[in-house]
Amino acid sequence: MIITVPKENLPGENRVAVIPDVALKLIKSGFEVHIETNAGLNAGFPDEQYESVGVKIVEDINQLYGLADVVLKVQRPVEHPELKKQEIELMKEGTLLITFLYPLYNFQLAKECADKGINVISMDMIPRTSFAQKMDALSSQANLAGYKSVLMCANKLGKIFPLMMTAAGTISPSKVVIMGAGVAGLQALGTAKRLGAVVEVSDIRSAVKEEVQSLGGRFIEFKTDENMQDEGGYAKEASEEFLKKQKELIFKHITEADIVITTALIPGKKAPVLVTEEMVKNMKPGSVILDMAVEFGGNCEVSEKDKIVTKHGVTIIGESNLPSLIPTHASEMYSKNIFNLLNHISKEGKVRLDLEDEVVKGALITHNKEVVNPRIKELLK
């Protein structure tokens, strides 16, 4: 089977779905690998590195897609800038597309893929089980996003992070508040602590308290009898009353912070607003907010997607694609997730989709011209 890796066409995307080392593993597994000219360049992987491991470099886009049995991408299919055609229009019927489709938000695109006969495995739908951990691209990319978020905030803050005692006087450590203790939040906590900040973490799931404390963070505890964690370990959607009480509790912590990093997402839903404009107004001048959920509506009421703005004296960073800012390692981790998935669903260079397999059942969105994922089917009704 031929695996094709096209260049990413979504603006601002620097990652590539397969790095040369992983391409070599795929070839040894029995696949033939084709890649579009300069597809890996922005991530630090020139064509020569791919050629040296046996990858075929293809310049003709129609040929690239026309021969593909499996297409590996980072981002969802978009209109090709040169051909002015949707990328799924370039794929032949029966192609397996593996990418971050985010079908809970892009369910109409999922329907279009089904209509065209494109079988889709969406990397954001990989089940969060121990077995599938090595395929969990959401976690691998969120890990890097958490790290990068702290560096971006540190760069915009007019202060240093650590306590420093000098002949000129003592500098107090910066205070960082992180909203959400998932993979990104915990990595942000670890990074901020290593830089010397005092870090507080808020999360509606009391189960994460020990993890926060083990990394040196202070857990902002909100007492509730509700279980705010679903079976997959994600935060559940909170009620209006719960969010109101949470905002009242968090107000003091946020308004005293130098940096606030928000990471709260509810799969398939608009991100909950955790930082209101009133909170921003009451923050110290020169403070920084980074809204990691800005792509899905934002946790901060006044953040703007893909913009850095200053409002009420506070710098608000609305970067929607943090992993793309660390494209080399992000591509490396993502392509290993992809390889582990392909290794699981293929044998001797041929993909065989077992519809009863737990990974396939969770992440397969379309198959044989039908939308097969129950949640996406429900959204399309």
Q: Residue 117: what pLDDT?
A: 97
Q: How many CB atoms lie within 10 A of CB 376?
A: 23
At CA 249, angle to CA 248 and CA 250, rounded to 5? 95
Q: Would you state the structure tokens that stand for residue 326, as one six-digit string?
A: 């660390």
Which residue among 282, 299, 325 closes a domain? Answer: 325
- Digits of tens for pLDDT over the chain (381 positions)? 999 999 999 999 999 999 999 999 999 999 999 999 999 999 999 999 999 999 999 999 999 999 999 999 999 999 999 999 999 999 999 999 999 999 999 999 999 999 999 999 999 999 999 999 999 999 999 999 999 999 999 999 999 999 999 999 999 999 999 999 999 999 999 999 999 999 999 998 888 999 999 999 999 987 766 655 556 555 566 667 777 777 788 999 999 999 999 999 888 899 999 999 999 999 999 999 999 999 999 999 999 999 999 999 999 999 999 999 999 999 999 999 999 999 999 999 999 999 999 999 999 999 999 999 999 999 998
Residues 253, 207 share a domain: yes
User: 353 near 366, Cβ under 8 Å?
Assistant: no
Catalytic residues: 128, 133, 136, 139, 234
Q: How many domains does the chain have?
A: 2
Which residue among 287, 307, 325 closes a domain? Answer: 325
Residues 206, 255 share a domain: yes
Residues 373, 271 share a domain: no
Residues 239, 97 share a domain: no
Which residue among 280, 303, 325 closes a domain? Answer: 325
User: 157 near 288, Cβ under 8 Å?
Assistant: yes
Question: Which structural domain, as residue segments, surrounds residue 12?
Answer: 2-135+327-380
CATH number at residue 74: 3.40.50.720
Long-range contacts of 83-90 (CB under 8 A, 24+ apart): 86/112, 87/6, 87/9, 88/112, 88/113, 88/116, 88/118, 89/116, 90/61, 90/62, 90/65, 90/66
Residues 250, 172 share a domain: yes
Residues 321, 341 share a domain: no
pTM here is 0.91
Q: Residue 229: what pLDDT?
A: 59
> Pairing between strand 308-311 and 169-171?
unpaired
Residues 335, 264 share a domain: no
**Whole-angstrom Cα distance, residue 203 to residue 137?**
22
Residues 153, 116 share a domain: no
Residues 131, 28 share a domain: yes
Residues 312, 187 share a domain: yes
Residue whose C-alpha is closest to residue 192's, from 297, 290, 326: 290
What are φ and ψ of residue 134, in 5° steps?
-70, -10
Residues 158, 116 share a domain: no
Residues 65, 7 share a domain: yes
Q: Would you state the structure tokens that stand for residue 120, as one six-digit string?
A: 């889709």
At CA 326, angle to CA 11 and CA 50, rounded to 5? 80
Q: Residue 240: what pLDDT?
A: 73
